[in-house]
Structure 1
Amino acid sequence: MLRVRWAELFPTRLSLFIFIAYMALFINQGILVTASQNAEKKYNYDTTLVVLLTEVIKLVASAILYCRNESPKKMLLVIYDNIALLGLYFVPSLLYCFYNNLAFANLTLFDPTTYYLLLQFRVVITALLFQIIFKKYLTARQWTALIMLTIGCMIKHIDAGGTNKLSDGHNIFSQMLSVSALLILVQSFCSSLAGVYNEYLLKHKGVSVDIYIQNVLMYLDSIVCNIFIIVFEGKASNTFSFASLQDVFHLNIVLIMLNSAAVGVVTSFFLKTLNSILKTFASALELFFTAVACYLIFGIPINIYTVISIFIVSISVLIYSQNPVDNQPKSVKAHQDEVLLLQEPSEV
């Protein structure tokens, strides 16, 4: 009989809350971005500026959260003491920078449900990178769950004859060979590598550093990376013009930035308390909640293939729950083992 090991999946109530919040915010992000498009599926605002301002909001939020208990001077001293970690965070910062900018581009090519579907290419990529970076090899059961997860996500848009149409009139196989699919693959790789590497910094290189300080370090790097891309593309004069700034300060655009900022902060807690493998399952579950939301909001139909996908992914999640990946920092794991030991009845 299958038994879900909830204590290993979600060590604390906070970790379960983080899991749910992560999914809800990501679903909301795809819907908000799609709703901000005009009739031609284009944006009437500078998306690179939105990404940059989002990183600024994340930085300010993390700094304020840290300074609730510590002084700004202490924060600056801690940042100075961890200047090497600041350098290491340039890797995930640059990858997330590419990911966030590609998200706007890809959501003009695909509806939110299809977009999250194709992003599931990152499932196996994440698993491979996880093994390489953490030297923790997945079991046959975990690989079975991951493969089923991928199949469940991909079957959503494959009809009986393999000719299901996507938004631009081509079948899914043509899409997979197109430039738009290449962009999705690049975005998937950026997401996977950034997530696993960020988890590595949170749990190993920076395990003794406050999570808010780690967020501050990454968002400082992210701002630099975004400015570099804007300058490199020769868009500085347009991006930082008064007209561009005026365009982004509309309610729907501000909501996109605030929601995206919340996603960034919650993601760091997700990787700190859980792991990047479970993050891929959260991303897969987002697909089906997004399908329902898009049906209600945009009228995008739910067909039998969506139902089949939900069933396969549900089974894969259940299989994974029997033997979840344990990748907590040693200090945290030791503390939990000590708590469990104290809770056990003593022998007389």
Structure 2
Amino acid sequence: MIFKAILANKDLFPTRLSLVVFVGYVGLFTAQGLLVTASRNGNTTYPYNTTTVVLLTEVLKLALSTLIFLKDHTFWSFISEVYDNKSMLVLYMVPAFLYCLYNNLSFTNLAAFDPTSYYIFMQIRLLFTGVVFQIMFKRYLSGMQWYSLCLVTLGCVVQKLDYATISKLFGPVDLSIQNVFYNSISFLLIVVQLSCSVCAGVYNEYLIKGNSGKNVHLMVQNVYMCLDSIFWNTVVLSYQGQLITAFSMPSLASIAQTLVILIIVNNACAGIITSMFLMNLNSIAKAFASAIEIVFTAMLSYLLFDIPIYINTVISVMISSYAIVVYAKNPVKNPPVKSYLPNADKRDTSLKEKLLENTPSV
């Protein structure tokens, strides 16, 4: 009954599409975690080149965004949109760079921290999201909204706690200068990583809903994001000397398996639905969706992979559920969804005429 009331809440889900997008977001990102876990075949390493997977995901997302646009518009409309709004290609360089930095720092930080501690630290981004959201949109969260954000953060942290982590927290501490310096650098890097995640997400929402993007089709904005992401990932790979390796025959052969292909397709779809989420909802709702995803992943991992559920997961579900109920009673209201299909066909003709004018006669 409670969840039925939540789903019917017009302030939380102003349209049926926003509800579908919310459910789709949770479903795709839950599937992402399960597919990646299954692809390891019970090992701690991946039997395929993860860099190749990341780049192919961006290429597929680029293709899907283009095809979705062309479903309702002509090819000339697409060329017109991309050409007339080419300045957004520069604007999307910022979130694309932040996401690229985030992905690369994840490897560094996972080497410095055990997985449980790493994921606990990363949950702080839920609170960071509230802070950055207020700064970017100048919309201040109420006391109850902050209360629900703190609760859902606590729920996510509890879900990641285990006996070993608790023992470390209350065990002996190495206060040597070398260890303190190492830990300080490690903490600084993880703060940078979660800041990249939060700032990229909120800034992406700002581009979609702000003056720069309000007259640009959402799928065209996805195209800009994909192009910039491919650019930054290529720069990083070139700097690391791994660009050729990523597309060598052994690397390409390693991804020619059903699970890995599913990961690429799922991740590409997740990227597209994330942009739809930010347009129809907001970054605060996205934080709660991520919390739900963590809980679902834990429960489904038990059913599919026999990964045990401990008391901390049960407590986490209770805390997160209560946080969602609190937030649902006082959500951040979404502004009216803009039309992101603006006059594309009108520009279609004008650009086509310009191109024809500049074409030399035979």
| TM-score category, normalised to shorter length | 0.7 to 0.9
Instruction: Please point out which of 219, 223, 226 is paired with 1:212.
Output: 219
- 1:114 and 1:153 mapped to 2: Cα distance? 12
| Structure 2 gap ranges (5+) | 172-182, 340-362
Do the aligned partners of 1:58 and 1:265 also contact (CA within 8 Å) in 2? Answer: yes
Contact 1:47 1:104 in 2 (8 A): no
Partner of 1:95, secondary structure, is helix
Letter of the aligned partner of 1:69 in structure 2? D
Counterpart of 2:324 in structure 1 is 317
How do residues 116-265 of structure 1 correspond to structure 2 at under 5 angstroms? Answer: 118-158=121-161, 164-165=163-164, 171=168, 185-204=191-210, 205-265=212-272
295-304 or 120-129, which deviates more: 295-304
1:84 aligns with 2:87: yes
CA RMSD of aligned residues (A): 2.8
The aligned residue for residue 174 of structure 2 is: none
Farther-moved stretch of structure 1 (273-282 vs 241-250): 241-250
Among 4, 12, 15, the residue aligned to 2:15 = 12
CA distance in 1, matches of 2:57, 2:46: 17
The 5 Å alignment of 1:20-169 reads 20-37=23-40, 40-100=43-103, 118-158=121-161, 164-165=163-164
**How big is the shift at 1:150?**
1.3
Task: Please name the residue that 2:351 is paired with.
Answer: none
**Distance in 2 of aligned mates of 1:32 and 1:118:** 23
The answer on 1:304 being equivalent to 2:311 is: yes
Inter-CA distance 173–139: structure 2 relative to 1 (3 Å threshold)? farther
CA contact (8 A) 2:120 2:161 kept: no
SS of 2:11's equivalent in the other structure is helix
Instruction: Give 1:303 shift.
Output: 1.6
1:200 maps to a residue whose letter is Y
Contact 2:119 2:160 in 1 (8 A): no
- SS for the counterpart of 1:165 is helix
| Larger Cα-atom Rg | 2
Name whichever of 27-36 and 278-287 sits farther off.
Answer: 27-36
Of residues 198-207 and 43-52 in structure 1, the stretch that sits farther from structure 2 once superposed is 43-52
Q: Aligned pair in 2 of structure 1 residues 317, 295: CA closer, same or farther (>3 Å)?
A: same
State the distance in 2 between where 1:172 and 1:301 align.
Answer: 23
Counterparts of 1:50 and 1:185, CA distance in 2 = 26
Change (3 A) 1:288 1:182: farther
CA shift at 1:32, angstroms?
Answer: 1.1
Q: Does the aligned pair in 2 maintain the 1:67–1:75 contact within 8 Å? A: yes
Is the contact made by 1:126 and 1:277 (CA closer than 8 Å) also made in structure 2?
Answer: yes
TM-aligned CA distance change 1:117 to 1:282, over 3 Å: farther
* Offset at residue 106 of structure 1 (A): 7.3
Evaluate the alpha carbon distance shift between residue 211 and residue 196 of structure 1 in structure 2; reply closer, same or farther with a 3 A threshold: same
Report whether the alignment pairs 1:292 with 2:328.
no
Q: Distance in 2 between matches of 1:222 and 1:157?
A: 30
> Within 2, Cα distance between the matches of 1:322 and 1:61?
36
TM-score w.r.t. the length of structure 1 is 0.84
The one-letter amino acid paired with 1:276 is S
Q: Which moved more, 1:241-250 or 1:20-29?
A: 241-250
Task: Tell me how far 1:258 sits from its aligned partner.
Answer: 0.5
Structure 1 stretch 214-223 or stretch 323-332: which is displaced more?
323-332
Q: How many residues are matched?
A: 323
TM-score, reference length from structure 2: 0.81
Which 5+ residue runs of structure 1 have no aligned equivalent?
333-348
Change over 3 Å in CA distance of 1:105–1:85 after alignment to 2: same
Contact 1:47 1:101 in 2 (8 A): no
Residues in 2 aligned to 1:33 and 1:289: alpha-carbon distance in whole angstroms: 15
Flag the 1:184–1:41 CA change in 2: closer, same or farther, 3 A: farther
State the alpha-carbon separation in 1 of the partners of residues 142 and 272 from structure 2: 30
Q: Mean alpha-carbon deviation: is it higher for 76-85 or for 36-45?
A: 36-45
Give yes or no for contact 2:280–2:337 (8 Å, CA) kept in 1. no
In 2, Cα distance between equivalents of 1:157 and 1:240: 36
Write out per-residue CA displacement over residues 214-234 of structure 1, whole angstroms, 9 at most, x where no aligned residue. Answer: 111111111111111111111
Alpha-carbon separation, structure 2, partners of 1:101 and 1:35: 22
In 2, Cα distance between equivalents of 1:189 and 1:105: 15
